[in-house]
């Protein structure tokens, strides 16, 4: 009995002291583990590949990183998640696109309990520091499914030198774009004038501001598909006419990769493309000097400027057998320290403290176009929307239908007919 009493007292002593020790967050608590990451090809993921050694040095946790182009990434992710594979720990997700579907399918681990656990979360994590719109897209009830890794949206890029040479004014309203394109083409017929996304599922990302700024909406006031509304038709017709009349050959097969290549090589004068490709554009000779960048011009009559503003996130598989180590990676990768480093890669920080920090201000002061890019991102963060399809949980299908309508207009269909047909198809998704 005496031996049992001594052991019991020792156990009691440990139990009483444990809560005190447990309050200390330790970056090396999961040293020796290896986690598997699958990432979409993106400036953030490219930077993570280069910075992963710093994470290992800090935590003792090793990483195995696979990066795929988006189509391959999504196909492989679907296979792994449907098979409930324990081989995947961390992956990227665009929650504004697939959040509702993935949550319903059970593809996200719940991060809320981890954020609340002081033994698992670094003291200066500060979840509220992230962009409110991206947090909202990653929250379902009390469940937090992902952490923001960037802030982005399409911006209007134009060649200032060509505009100056041709004595064409910078467009101040969205309605100016056709006349601007016409004047540029008349000045230099050999110059590509316009490029934008023409691939079906990619179109709504760059299309939406055309609709919003004209006073249109994807939904009617009572929540039904609304492409056939007069102002929405204006936006559809304007976007399609620019592609049809001034776009490059093969425009309906183009997404951001082709558009950025054309812009970077100096083969087009204007585009409306992702802010997230800024660093890639700046790698091309001359673009830092001759490009202008701003938010797409507002509607002349409406005065509306309502761009798309979204952000990719990083999340954890619910099937992971290494959730604590994976959570350490998520915290580290989205920390203020790491986000400040990613600025040089052109990854716009979703943390307000980084946007306002000395590192960011020093970086943008080095080059005028960086300041214009940063100011544009601040603007879309204040005025943008994460919605760029009709109301439905089946977001990818809805965007395909909207993109198909634009393609049909480019190929000769009337905007009214294409929109009516799309609204009928969208209604079946609800």
Give residues with Cβ within 8 angstroms of 31, minimum separation 6: 59, 60, 61
Are 150 and 156 in contact by the 8 Å Cβ rule? The answer is no
**Pick from 74-83, 150-159, 221-230, 390-399: least confident:** 390-399
Q: Quick one: pLDDT at residue 117? A: 96
CA distance 43 to 344: 10
Q: Quick one: pLDDT at residue 352? A: 83
Q: Please choose, from the candidates 248, 252, 389, the residue with its C-alpha nearest in 3D space to the C-alpha of residue 308.
A: 389
Residue-averaged pLDDT of the chain: 92
- CATH for the stretch 27-151+310-365: 3.40.190.10
Distance of CA 427 to the CA centre of its chain: 27
The answer to whether the predicted template modeling score (pTM) of the entire model surpasses 0.75 is yes
CA distance 236 to 419: 8
Query: How confident is the model over 266-300, as pLDDT tens digits?
Result: 999 999 999 989 988 999 999 999 999 999 999 99
pLDDT for 85 beyond 60? yes
- CATH for the stretch 154-309+381-427: 3.40.190.10
Please name the helix (run of DSSP H) or strand (run of DSSP E) that holds residue 364, with its range, or none: helix 358-365
Query: How confident is the model over 345-362, as pLDDT tens digits?
Result: 878 888 888 877 888 888
Query: How confident is the model over 223-236, as pLDDT tens digits?
Result: 999 999 999 999 99
The values of phi and psi at residue 56, to 5°, are -65, -40
- Asked if domains 27-151+310-365 and 154-309+381-427 share a fold, the reply is yes
CA distance 74 to 41: 11
Are 60 and 13 in contact by the 8 Å Cβ rule? The answer is no
Q: Between 386 and 275, whose confidence is greater?
A: 275
Quick one: pLDDT band at residue 166, thresholds 50, 70, 90? Answer: very high
Quick one: pLDDT band at residue 1, thresholds 50, 70, 90? Answer: very low
**Domain residue ranges of the chain, discontinuous segments joined by +:** 27-151+310-365, 154-309+381-427
- Other C-beta atoms within 10 Å of 183: how many? 16
Q: Quick one: pLDDT at residue 172? A: 97
Q: Quick one: pLDDT at residue 430? A: 67
CA distance 77 to 97: 15
CA distance 61 to 182: 57
pLDDT for 11 beyond 50? no
CA distance 27 to 326: 12
Our CA angle for 14, 19, 20, nearest 5°, is: 95
pLDDT for 334 beyond 70? yes
Q: Quick one: pLDDT at residue 23? A: 62
Which three-class secondary structure state does DSSP give residue 235?
helix
Are 367 and 291 in contact by the 8 Å Cβ rule? The answer is no
pLDDT for 5 beyond 80? no
CA distance 234 to 333: 42
Q: Quick one: pLDDT at residue 20? A: 41
Which three-class secondary structure state does DSSP give residue 157?
strand
Give the full edge-to-edge strand order of the sheet including 268-274: 192-195, 268-274, 154-159, 291-294
- Other C-beta atoms within 10 Å of 124: how many? 11
Task: Work out the average pLDDT over 81-88.
Answer: 97
């Amino acid at each position: 009995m005496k031996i049992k009493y001594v052991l019991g007292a020792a156990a009691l002593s440990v139990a009483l002291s444990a809560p005190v020790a447990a309050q200390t967050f330790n970056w090396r608590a999961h040293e020796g583990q290896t986690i598997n990451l699958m990432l979409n090809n993106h400036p953030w993921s490219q930077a993570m590949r280069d910075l992963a050694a710093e994470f290992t040095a800090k935590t003792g946790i090793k990483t195995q990183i696979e990066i795929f182009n988006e189509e391959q990434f999504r196909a492989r992710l679907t296979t792994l998640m449907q098979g409930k594979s324990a081989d995947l720990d961390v992956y990227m997700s665009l929650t504004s696109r697939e959040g509702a579907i993935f949550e319903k399918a059970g593809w996200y681990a719940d991060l809320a309990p981890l954020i609340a656990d002081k033994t698992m979360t670094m003291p200066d994590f500060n979840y509220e520091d992230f962009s409110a719109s991206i947090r909202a897209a990653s929250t379902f009830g009390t469940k937090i499914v992902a952490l923001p890794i960037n802030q982005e949206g399409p911006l209007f890029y134009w060649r200032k030198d060509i505009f100056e040479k041709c004595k064409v004014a910078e467009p101040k309203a969205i309605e100016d774009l056709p006349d601007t394109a016409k004047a540029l083409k008349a000045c230099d017929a050999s110059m590509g004038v316009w490029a934008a996304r023409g691939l079906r599922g990619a179109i709504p990302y760059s299309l939406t501001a055309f609709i919003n700024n004209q006073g249109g909406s994807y939904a009617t006031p009572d929540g039904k598909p609304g492409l056939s509304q007069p102002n929405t038709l204006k936006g559809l017709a304007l976007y399609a006419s620019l592609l049809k009349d001034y776009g490059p050959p093969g425009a309906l097969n183009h997404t951001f990769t082709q558009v950025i290549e054309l812009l970077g090589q100096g083969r087009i004068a204007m585009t409306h493309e992702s802010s997230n490709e800024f660093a890639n554009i700046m790698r091309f000779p001359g673009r830092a000097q001759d490009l202008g960048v701003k938010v797409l011009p507002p509607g002349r009559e409406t005065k509306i400027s309502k761009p798309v503003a979204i952000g990719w996130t990083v999340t954890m598989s619910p099937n992971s057998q290494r959730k604590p180590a994976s959570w350490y990676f998520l915290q580290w990768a989205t920390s203020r320290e790491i986000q400040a480093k990613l600025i040089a890669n052109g990854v716009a920080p979703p943390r307000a403290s980084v946007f306002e920090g000395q590192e960011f201000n020093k970086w943008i002061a080095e080059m005028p176009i960086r300041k214009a890019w940063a100011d544009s991102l601040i603007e879309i963060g204040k005025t943008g929307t994460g919605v760029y399809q009709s109301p439905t949980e089946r977001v990818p299908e809805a965007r395909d239908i909207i993109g198909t309508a634009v393609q049909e207009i480019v190929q000769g269909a009337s905007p009214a007919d294409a929109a009516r047909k799309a609204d009928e198809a969208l209604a079946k998704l609800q």
